[in-house]
Amino acid sequence: MRVGNRMKENTSTRFINFIKNNLVLMAIVVLVVVTAIVQPKFLSAANLTNVMRQLWPLPFIALGMTFVIIGGFIDLSVVGMISLSGVVTVALIDPLGQVGAILCGILLGAMMGYLNGTILTACGAMIQAEVLFITFGMSSIYTAIALLLTNAETLRIARCIKPYTIFTALGSGTVGIVPIVLIVFAVILTIMHLFYKKTLAGRNISLMGGNKEAAFLTGCNVKRSMRLVYTISGIMSAMGAISLVSRVTTATATSGTGYETNAILCVVVGGTTLKGGKGSVLRTMLGVALVVLLGNCMNMLGLSTYMQTVMRGAVLVIAIWLDNRKEL
Amino acid sequence: MDESILVVKDVCKYFPGVTALDHVSIEVPRGVVYGIVGENGAGKSTLMKILSGVYEKDEGTVIFNGETIERTTPIQALRRGLSIIYQEFNLVNTMTVGENIFLGRFNENHGMRGTHKKARELLDSIGSTINTYSMVGDLSASEMQMVEITKALSFDSKLIIMDEPSSSLTSEELKRLGVIINQLRDKGISIIYISHKLDEIFEYCDIVTVMRDGHVIDTKPVSEFTRNEMITKMVGRTLENEYPPRAHFVEEPLLEVRNLNTRKLHNINFTLHKGEILGLVGLVGAGRTEIIRALYGADKAHGHDILLRGQPVKIRNPKQAMQAGIGLVPEDRKREGLILPFSVESNITMASLERLSKFGIVNHAAEKDIAQRQIDALSIKTPSRITKMVSLSGGNQQKCIVGRWLERNPQILILDEPTRGIDVGAKYEIYVLMNKIVEAGGAIIMISSELPEVLNMSNRVLTICGGRITGEFIPEHATAAEIMDKAIG
């Protein structure tokens, strides 16, 4: 009798703990079920394929942002980095060929990110507000450079003389029903996950986010870790930019607008704390799934764009609130 | 009028899995200083939090000023006349003294002019000369404490609880606190004085309650306690001594520091010998912490030479210091030492990660071994390796930091206030660890504001004042007064 009781209690507490630890997953399940009942078209192959196509570049940006936030910082410059590396990549297809253009775009992203990190360490910016505004300023600079380079005109991949097959493949190619860009992303995600979990550099990022002073006094090169997280964010922004221009087949100097808040939303919803230190690359992907599905569901249910913005804001606030409650 | 300001009867408080307070009863008469002592986790803080309304009691009665209190909130408690001054002050650094004293109550004094006038009167009443228009952020720790006490008086408090009031005070400032405590007592205000420092308890308190593991062990007038009896009751076992026997040291220079200068330090020269514990004594802000931070490469210094066993070494950052075999247990455990939301394991292994890595990949299995080894070796009380650091007691947290360095086998360990805020039993264990390190041929530089601790543990003491070394003593051949004289400058 007693044993039976304990067993029962055990499974029920375990169930509650599972739900507590996987709120995002639960939210996704509820969202999918409710929408599927109200609007059966939601689960149609056409809609799901559409979701997977419309997804990009958010997963890349959120992946980079996860590292910055785990490190205890934030990166608003992704807007400018996406825009600038997008237009530069497309502009270089003709002079360098598509492979050269892609490599240069990613290199440019890395350089912009490294520059962000260097400027932040040089300024001695160690608190969130400073980091927030410096990266915001860098974003304006990158966007302005993109505007200067393009004269605010739209660059079209289709106008390129040299072949642009990789872009087409990333934009619309599939293996079976799986988009090629998703496969590419899965590989990068795996690498970044292992990097965070297994390597010394990854651990140093998390120590830095946990307590910069303690990390510094135990021999962690905090400035280097800081440059590293921003470089990762830069590379991911450039990769995201490539997935974006591939999907929409154009590049403009403002194409990155809005991705910074969405990426932060995904990271926080995924359960990475804004206080830094703790987080998970894989959980951010659950956050991406929730944010994207939420948008799609609201479309399917016919909510207005304004209402959708309200919902998105509410989700962010709830996510931070839940995160703070967890500490108690 | 009732004779006692506060009566606590059979109060119990349960947390999941723990009985924090088990039928605790105390009675505080009016106009006395009532000491409460006990190791960390004895239940002192829980009791105070129930009194101030942060926690709710599960059983028992609390009668304050003749009124039975069932539930209260911190602001209600304040209005009734019960204030708490916590170890970490509750002041707004960017506001003035007067504003802080009457925070949120400016209307009661008819605006700011009245507020400052009233604040001035209150400060005068305890003989403090702090300007009410000064920014709190510019004040010293002791002045901030005066502001806190004045704030308590502004509520017309009948009972003031002081939680570890002396932890950030120098001995001069402590004397001033003693004067004020006596003044308050003369006004008929009762004080509950919580401290780990038994000297203060014996000096200030009239009645003392010893708590251990959520129980009241004993309550009697302080004059009927002996120091040893009090310690024995606190730890629940007999401690032979507060300090282990001093280790012997070898006259062989291990570390030499030459011409260390920074903005705050002037021409610092000293030698640390093998097997030696070197104590640095000085007031807070005299430059003790600055010396070791510069030596450790945490702060910028210029033009100085460091010789390790006669060989010059360059230390420009903590990493190079660690490679030279130096470890640092910093002053502020929570801010500089630990990552509180992380596991005990990560906190122990964080200084060893580089050694555990091959081609940049951390060997997680070895990490587990290290953490477990240190937990066992130092008998760190934690439910498991992966328990979060924040839930450990101060003494066990400190042991984790020491364990972090022991794993690296440092030749020189720098300990900045190693026993601050930890209880008598854990202190002794830290002292024993220190002796083990020096017996193994290492050396220790120790900073402490507790003079008895420095005198009993060190082989040699340097006094620091105004960023200069002002004296060198062998503790056996010097009196505390001589040393303090040099430290005050």
Most confident of A68-82, B7-21, B35-49: A68-82
What secondary structure letter does DSSP report for B459?
Answer: S
Q: What is the mean pLDDT of residues A78-107?
A: 95
The whole-number pLDDT of residue A9 equals 55
* Most A-contacting residue of B322, B342, B348 (CB-CB within 10 A), to test interface: B342
Our separate counts of H helices and E strands in chain A read 14, 4
Contact (CB<8Å) B322/A219:
yes
pLDDT, one tens digit per residue, over A20-55 is 777 778 888 888 888 888 888 888 888 888 888 888
Cα distance between residue A90 and residue A102, in whole Å: 8
Angle between helices A45-54 and A281-300 (to 10 degrees): 130
Nearest CA in chain A to B329: A217
Residue B48 reports pLDDT greater than 60: yes
- The kind and range of the H/E element at A181 are helix A180-198
The token pair that represents B183 in the structure block: 């003044």
> How sure is the predictor about A197, in pLDDT bands with cuts at 50, 70 and 90?
very high
**3-state SS, residue B367:** helix
Name residues whose C-beta falls within 8 Å of residue B250's C-beta, 6 or more positions apart in sequence. Answer: B273, B274, B275, B276
- Looking only at the bridges linking them, the beta strands covering B305-308 and B253-260 are antiparallel
| Four-residue CA torsion sign, B375, B380, B382, B388 | negative
Instruction: Give me the residue from A211, A213, A219 closest to B354, CB to CB.
Output: A219
Cis peptide, bond prior to residue B29, ω within 30 of zero: no
Model pLDDT, residue B53: 86
Yes or no, beta carbons of B328 and A217 under 8 Å apart? yes
Q: Please tell me if residue B296 touches chain A, with a CB cutoff of 8 Å.
A: yes
Name the residue of chain B whose CA is nearest to A201's CA: B360
Nearest-CA distance A64 → chain B (Å):
20
Give the highest mean pLDDT range of A29-38, A234-243, B189-198, B310-319: A234-243
The domains of chain B, with CATH numbers, are: 4-235 (3.40.50.300), 253-488 (3.40.50.300)
Phi and psi torsions of A172, nearest 5°: -140, -5
The helix-helix angle for A58-70 and A180-198 (nearest 10°) equals 10
Pairing of strands B468-473, B311-313: unpaired
Any B CB within 8 A of A199 CB = yes
Longest dimension (CA), chain B: 76
The yes-or-no verdict on residue A228 having pLDDT over 50 is yes
pLDDT, residue B16, reads 67
Q: Note whether A218 contacts B322, CB cutoff 8 Å.
A: yes
Contact status of B116 with chain A (Cβ, < 8 Å): no
In this structure, how many other beta carbons lie within 10 angstroms of the beta carbon of residue B3?
9
Is the minimum CB–CB distance between A204 and chain B shorter than 8 Å?
A: yes
Average confidence (pLDDT) over A128-139: 91
Query: Model confidence over A140-160: pLDDT tens digits?
Result: 999 999 999 999 899 999 888
pLDDT of residue A5: 46
Interface test with B, best of A17, A196, A211, A218 (most B CBs within 10 A): A218
> Is the Cβ–Cβ distance between A114 and A126 less than 8 Å?
no
pLDDT at B238: 57
Percent share of chain B, pLDDT over 70: 96
The yes-or-no verdict on residue A201 having pLDDT over 90 is yes
d(CA B12, CA A304): 55
Report for A119-133, A203-217, B49-63, B433-447: range of highest mean pLDDT: A203-217
Closest CA–CA distance from residue A217 to any residue of chain B (Å): 6
Lowest mean pLDDT among B16-30, B77-91, B120-134, B237-251: B237-251
Chain A nearest C-alpha distance from B480 (Å):
33
SS in 3 state form for B255-299? Answer: EEEEEEECCCCCCEEEEEECCCEEEEECCCCCCHHHHHHHHCCCC
Range with the poorest average pLDDT among A62-66, A92-96, A222-226, A273-277: A273-277
Confidence of residue B109 (pLDDT cuts 50, 70, 90): confident
A293 touches chain B (CB under 8 A): no
Nearest residue in B to A195, CA atom: B361
Using a CB–CB cutoff of 8 Å, tell me whether B357 touches chain A.
yes
The average pLDDT across A222-247 equals: 96
> What is residue A1's predicted lDDT score, i.e. its pLDDT?
36
- Residues in Cβ contact with B45 at an 8 Å cutoff, skipping those fewer than 6 apart: B163
When comparing pLDDT for B172 and B433, which is higher? B433
DSSP conformation class of A257: T
Residues of A in contact with B328 (CB under 8 A): 217
Q: For residues A261 and B167, which has the higher predicted lDDT (pLDDT)? A: A261
Q: Residue A199: list chain B partners with CB under 8 A.
A: 357, 360-362
Question: Which of B78-82, B165-169, B299-303 has the lowest average pLDDT?
Answer: B165-169
| Whether A121 contacts chain B with CB within 8 A | no
Across the interface, do B354 and A203 touch by the CB < 8 Å criterion?
no
ipTM, interface predicted TM-score of the complex = 0.84
Cα gap B247→A273, rounded to integer Å: 47
Q: Please report the residues numbered 220 through 239 in chain A whose beta carbons come closer than 8 angstroms to any beta carbon of chain B.
A: 220-221
3-state secondary structure of B9: strand
The model's confidence at residue B282, banded by pLDDT at 50, 70 and 90, is confident
Chain B nearest CA to A240, separation (Å):
27
Consecutive H or E run containing A8: helix A2-21
Range ranked top by mean pLDDT from A167-181, A183-197, B32-46, B130-144 = A183-197
pLDDT at B321: 93
Question: CA nearest A220 in B: which residue?
Answer: B319
Contact indicator for A322, A23 with CB cutoff of 8 Å: yes
Cα R_g (chain A), whole angstroms: 21
Tell me the pLDDT of chain B averaged across its residues.
86
Query: Residue B145's pLDDT is what?
Result: 84
Nearest to A26 by CA among A289, A221, A326: A289
Among A224-233, B149-158, B201-210, B426-435, the range with the most confident prediction by mean pLDDT is A224-233
A78 CA to chain B: closest CA distance, Å?
28
Give one DSSP letter per residue of B374-432, joined into a string.
HHHHTT---S-TTSBGGGS-HHHHHHHHHHHHHTT--SEEEEESTTTT--HHHHHHHHH
Question: Contact A218/B354, CB-based, under 8 Å?
Answer: no
Cβ distance A200 to B336 less than 8 Å, yes or no, reads no
Cβ–Cβ contact A207 with B under 8 A: yes
Distance in angstroms (rounded) separating the CA atoms of residues A224 and A117: 9
Query: What does the pLDDT average to over B54-73?
Result: 87
Tens digit of each residue's pLDDT (9 = 90 or more) over B429-484: 889 889 888 888 889 999 987 778 888 889 999 999 888 999 999 888 888 778 87
Q: Contact B318/A219, CB-based, under 8 Å?
A: yes
Q: How far apart are CA B277 and CA B402, in angstroms?
A: 16
Asked if B348 has any chain A CB less than 8 Å from its own CB, the reply is no
Please name the residues between 411 and 470 in chain B that touch chain A, using a CB distance below 8 Å: none
**Beta carbons within 10 angstroms of residue B237's beta carbon:** 8
Residue B453's pLDDT is: 86
SS3 B199: helix
**Chain A residues touching residue B336 (CB < 8 angstroms):** 211, 213-214, 217
Tell me, what's the pLDDT at A3? Answer: 42
Q: What is the pLDDT of residue B237?
A: 61
Q: What is the pLDDT of residues B401-428, one digit of tens each?
A: 999 999 998 899 999 999 887 777 788 8
- State in Å, rounded, how far the first CA of chain B is from the last one: 51
> Which letter does DSSP use for residue B316 in this model?
S
Q: Which of the four pLDDT bands, split at 50, 70 and 90, describes residue B178?
A: confident
Q: Do B339 and A211 touch (CB under 8 A)?
A: yes
List the 326-345 stretch of B: residues with Cβ below 8 A of A: 328, 330, 335-342
A327: chain B residues, CB-CB within 8 Å: 341
Cβ pairs A/B, distance under 8 A: 69
CA distance B186 to B320: 56
- Is B120 an 8 Å CB contact of chain A? no
- How far is B133 from B384, CA to CA, in rounded Å? 51
Distance (Å) from the C-alpha of residue B456 to the closest C-alpha of chain A?
A: 28
Picking from B317, B338, B339 by the largest number of A CB atoms within 10 A of its own CB, the best residue to mutate is B339
User: What 3-state DSSP class applies to B220?
Assistant: strand
Residue keyed to tokens 């024993």: B432
pLDDT band at A263 (very low <50, low <70, confident <90, very high): very high
pLDDT band for B192, please (50, 70, 90 cuts).
very high
| CA distance linking residue B321 with residue B392, whole number of Å | 28
Closest CA to A196 of A286, A22, A70: A70
B310 contact A CB<8A: no
| The predicted structure's pLDDT at residue B420 | 81
Confidence (pLDDT) at A230: 97
Average pLDDT in the A51-75 region?
Answer: 93
Long-range own/partner contacts, residues A266-271 (CB < 8 A, 24 or more apart): A266/A58, A266/A62, A266/A65, A266/A290, A266/A291, A267/A62, A267/A65, A267/A66, A267/A69, A268/A69, A268/A316, A268/A319, A268/A320, A268/A323, A269/A24, A269/A315, A269/A316, A269/A319, A270/A24, A270/A62, A270/A66, A271/A23, A271/A24, A271/A323
Q: Is A195 exposed, middle or buried (0-12, 13-18, 19+ CB in 10 A)?
A: middle
